[in-house]
Amino acid sequence: MRPTVGWPADVSGSWRDGRLTLGMNAALGTTVATIAPDMNRRAPMIAGLLFAVLYATAVLVIPALAGSDEGVVRAQALLLAFAVLALVVVLAFTRERLTGPAAHVFTIGSAVLVAQLCLAIWFTGGPALRPGQLDTDAARVVGDVGAMWLPAATVAHILVAVPILLAANEDLFPRWLGTGAAVFTVEQLVETITIIGPPGSFISPGGPMNQYLGGTLTAAFFLGVGIALSVGENTADPAPPDDPGAVEGTPPVDQCAADE
Burial 243-256 (b: 16+ CB within 10 A, else e): eeeeeeeeeeeeee
pLDDT in tens, 43-53: 999 999 999 99
Q: What angle do CA 218, 183, 63 make, to 5 degrees?
A: 30
pLDDT at 239: 44
**Position 20 pLDDT exceeds 70:** no
In angstroms, the Cα distances linking 120 to 60, 89, 124, 207, 209 are 15, 19, 6, 15, 17
* Mean pLDDT for the chain overall: 80
Listed range (99-103, 206-210, 255-259) with the worst mean pLDDT: 255-259
What CA–CA distance (Å, rounded) separates 176 from 225? Answer: 10
**Global confidence as pTM:** 0.73
CB 138 within 8 A of CB 198: no
**Position 243 pLDDT exceeds 60:** no
Instruction: Note the residue count of the chain.
Output: 260
pLDDT in tens, 60-78: 988 877 666 777 888 889 9
Burial of 128 (0-12, 13-18, 19+ CB in 10 A): middle
pLDDT at 145: 81
pLDDT at 213: 95
192: amino acid identity, one letter: T
pLDDT at 70: 73
Listed range (31-40, 50-59, 215-224) with the worst mean pLDDT: 31-40
**Position 7 pLDDT exceeds 50:** no
Longest dimension (CA), the chain: 107
Residues 6+ apart with CB under 8 A from 108: 159
What CA–CA distance (Å, rounded) separates 149 from 160? Answer: 17
pLDDT in tens, 171-185: 999 999 999 999 999
